[in-house]
Amino acid sequence: GTLRIARPDRTCSSSAMSTLIALICVAPAAAFRTGVWHHPPDASTSSSLFPRAATAAMQLPGMAQAATAAATVVQEVAGSVQDVEAPDADDSFVAIDESRTGLVDEEGLPLVYDKEAIQKYWEGQGGALQSRWAEFLSVSVPFLTRVAALLVSGGTDALNDSASELARDARERIQKLGPTYVKMGQMMSVRPDILPQAALDELTILQDGVEGFPADVAREMVEEELGAPIDELFSDFSAEPAAAASLAQVFRATLRSSGEAVAVKVQRPGVQSLVSKDLYVLRRAAEVYQGLVERFAPQQRTDYVGLLNEWAVGFYTELDFKNEAANMQTMARGLAEAGVTDVAVPRVYEALTTRRVLVSEWIDGRKLSECSTEEVRELVAIGQECFLVQLLQTGFFHSDPHPGNLMRPHDQSRARCDFPPHRLGPRPAL
């Protein structure tokens, strides 16, 4: 099949969206208040309780029409993730280094996305998936309940009045859930067609304002991965990271052998296991949301499970820095052969790059979001040419061009735009 991506129907009213949120939240809230449940529902909760929850919800003003559907939704949300499959990669357009297929890390997880291998690994991990699903619900449901309470008490006006506070709360909860959700937040931070400005402003913080992990842990990982003390490899290594992202943090260093300034990207400890687990949770969440949309908002045509599948494959692939290094080199060659000279891709130092550590050329500059309007206008034509060359000529394109991944170098002698391709993929057949 094909990956069907459609823009959500802009005519869908705020009341329709409010109903979807209320369906998730009102029944459990009503049940807690009326004593139907004495503890949050889990996978063992009998389905016979849900009609009682619906009855409780019907007693709330204005919610009678949604109560029956709410009971169904609660049953879905409270279900297990044990029978959920990992996201499917059969139709993915993400560029993957096939030579690394079949390799696994020290825990047994594949380096390259492999649905069967990931499922086999988690089948032997007991209740780990269900535990993470419960953790996901514990963080997300209180926020949704708060949104529903505002909608019930004051409608969309109350929601709009609290937009900034809600956006900050959502961003903090995303950070609490960890790297996978931060990455999703970064993706949504450049979608003004979907989210209001208050939400975009908060999610933009996730592009560079992610909390890092201890610098000494990063240094230990560099030494372990490269097999030598840092002082033997670098004459200078920054005490604190220059930037922290969802998957890694970046340090500025100087190569002892040449004196060149480099960026040392170090992966967050334990991220491979956490991300592979979260992909199951998100697959489950996508299936629940897809069911809600198909039942209550059939005018929307977006395939949310399909979108999650493609995003999941790309995200998992980003965990292998050797794959990222290969993609950077492919991008650099493609742009050079196409005669694109105003865009630079940082040079990769292959001898100092492993699955968890990536060493590349350091380029000083400013994010495009920090540039003046005149500077951005000057770069528009360059960006248009660069992306059209990727999509229509080289067949290999950057698929995560948020402002944190695009820079205007201070030194314009080499290039006018820096283009670190953290996520790249081949062009689909046209």
Active site residues: 400
Say how many CA atoms lie within 13 Å of 69 toward its Cβ. 18
d(CA 48, CA 35): 15
Q: What angle do CA 346, 348, 351 make, to 5 degrees?
A: 165
d(CA 59, CA 63): 8
Q: 13: which residues sit within 8 A by CB, 6+ positions away? A: none
Strands 343-344 and 417-418: parallel
For residue 58, what are its two tokens? Answer: 């019907």
Distances (CA, A) of 371 to 5, 204, 377, 381, 385: 31, 15, 10, 16, 20
Identity (one letter) of the amino acid at 111?
Answer: L
Give alpha helix (H) positions in 124-270.
128-161, 163-177, 179-188, 197-208, 215-226, 230-233
Instruction: Please provide the DSSP assignment of 84-126 as one string.
Output: PPPPP-TT------GGGTT-B-TTS-BSS--HHHHHHHHHTST
Q: 116: which residues sit within 8 A by CB, 6+ positions away? A: none
d(CA 373, CA 184): 28
Closest by alpha carbon to 73, among 93, 53, 94, 55?
53
